[in-house]
Structure 1
Amino acid sequence: MSEAGDFIDATLQRESSWQRAEAGQDRFGPGLSVYGASVGAVRGTVRDALRRHRELDRDGLTALSSELWAVPVFERRLAAVVLLQSALRHLDNSDLTRIEGFLRGAHLPDLADPLAVDVVGPLIAGLDGQARTRAEAVLDRWLRDPDPWLRRAALLAPLRELRKGAGDWARFRRRAALALANGTADGTADGGAAEIVRDAVERVEREAGGEA
């Protein structure tokens, strides 16, 4: 483990409480361990790590995010998301491959949604020209993927822009229809996967006003 990764992990364990750990374990299930640190503690720990390790460049930051995500502990994975939020100015469309891997393993709105809304969305909004076109093509591919968490992320990514009135509602509605149709095509429409996608559509409509 890197020095920065070790600092984050050790600090999160020190910030834990058995009550939060027990509640989180009940909520998230057996597939993910929980230290019991608060969201505020996770954010503060990442800030402290970045102050301690100002030498981290783009490659170092993205490698650290992968290191944190690699261990199935909720707080470590949330720290990876917070780290990417902090590193947005360094990211470009080539980082969507790494983020796609995270989304495929997220399996929780608590991890997948901030990745989509607070990392993927702002990342793409900050691109232009061919880089923006390539990034939008990645979202279109996610909409056709059997993994409902990728389809959900593609729909939630423009939420910030739509909230501000700067997004493309027509594109969102086309994408929503495609994501829901793909759920029917892959046989998941009657299960939890379809609900994962529908919930994303409803969240965007609710939080961004659902313009016609």
Structure 2
Amino acid sequence: MSDAGDFIDLSLQREGSWSRAEEAQSRLGGDLRFYGASVGAVRGTIRDAGRRYPGLLHDDITALSSELWAVPVFERRLAAVVLLQSNVPLLTNSDLTRIEGFVRQAHVRALVDPLAVDVIGPLLEGLDRPDMVRADSVLDRWVREPDVWLRRAALLSPLRPLRTGAGDWDRFVRHACTVLGESPATGRKRADGPEVREAISLVLDEMTKKRPELHFSVVDE
């Protein structure tokens, strides 16, 4: 493991507690292990790592995120998300491949949602036109994937810019219609159950409060 990876892992273990680990395991479930460190401690650890190892470039950041993610411990994976979130300006269109792998392995909202809202969405907003077109094709593929978490990530990705009056509302509507327009003939349940439909509702609820001029109706069969 790298020096930075060792520092982050040991710091997270020191911040952990058995009671928080048991509570998180009960609440989040899945196959992850837990150190029991708080979200604030994870964020603080990444800030400390940035001060301890300054000047990390794109390849350093992405390699470190993969190193942290590789061990199925919730706090390590959340630290990988926070690391990417803190360095979004360094990320490029090609990093969507790595992030897609993270989303496929995440399996819990507490990892998928910050990846979608705080990493994927801002990454897309920073792309130039040619890279944006390529990224759009990636997200168009995600909403047609059988993987429920990829579909959720694609739907939630525009939430942060949309809140601020920017963002691609038409992309969200297109993706929501793709998901909601499915029928049993596609071989999948329409919207793939609560995770995906919940993602659509989260965006629509936020837009009702922040940008009521935007309209999209969810029609049930």
Normalised to the residue count of structure 2, the TM-score between the two structures is 0.90
Residue 62 of structure 2 corresponds to 62
Residues 100 and 150 in structure 1, CA contact (< 8 A), matched pair in contact too: yes
Aligned runs of 1:169-208 on 2, under 5 Å?
A: 169-182=169-182, 184=184, 185-189=186-190, 193-208=192-207
C-alpha separation between the residues in 2 aligned to 1:183 and 1:25? Answer: 35
RMSD over aligned CA atoms reads 1.6
Identity %: 62
2:100 aligned with 1:88? no
Per-residue deviation at 1:182? 4.7
8 Å contact from structure 1 (residues 180, 194) kept in 2: no
Change (3 A) 1:163 1:55: closer
Determine if the alignment matches structure 1 residue 44 to structure 2 residue 55: no
Measure, in 1, the Cα distance between the counterparts of 2:127 and 2:168. Answer: 15
Distance change >3 Å, CA 67–CA 59, structure 1 → 2: same
Separation in structure 2 between the aligned mates of residue 60 and residue 38 of structure 1, nearest angstrom: 25
Residues 169/89 of structure 1: CA separation in 2 closer, same or farther (3 Å cut): closer
Instruction: Please tell me whether the aligned partners of residues 176 and 201 of structure 1 are also in contact (alpha carbons under 8 angstroms).
Output: yes
Structure 1 unaligned residues grouped into runs of 5+: none
Deviation by residue 1:18-52 (Cα, 9 ceiling, x = unmatched) = 11111011112250001000000000001111111
TM-score (norm 1): 0.94
Say how many residue pairs are matched: 210
Runs of 4+ in 1 over 4 A off after TM superposition: none
Quote the offset at 1:65 in angstroms.
0.2
Contact 1:146–1:183 (Cα < 8 Å) also in 2: no
Question: How far 1:183 moved relative to its partner?
Answer: 7.7
CA contact (8 A) 1:144 1:182 kept: no
Conservation of the 8 A alpha-carbon contact between 2:162 and 2:169: yes
The CA deviation string for residues 161-181 of structure 1, in whole angstroms up to 9 with x for no partner, is 221222333332221021234
Deviates most, 125-134 or 160-169: 160-169
Aligned-partner Cα distance in 2 for 1:183–1:31: 31
**Separation in 1, partners of 2:182, 2:153:** 14
Query: Counterpart of 1:27?
Result: 27
C-alpha contact 2:5 2:64 (8 A) present in aligned 1: yes
CA, structure 1 residues 147+181, in 2 after alignment: closer, same or farther (shift >3 Å)?
A: farther
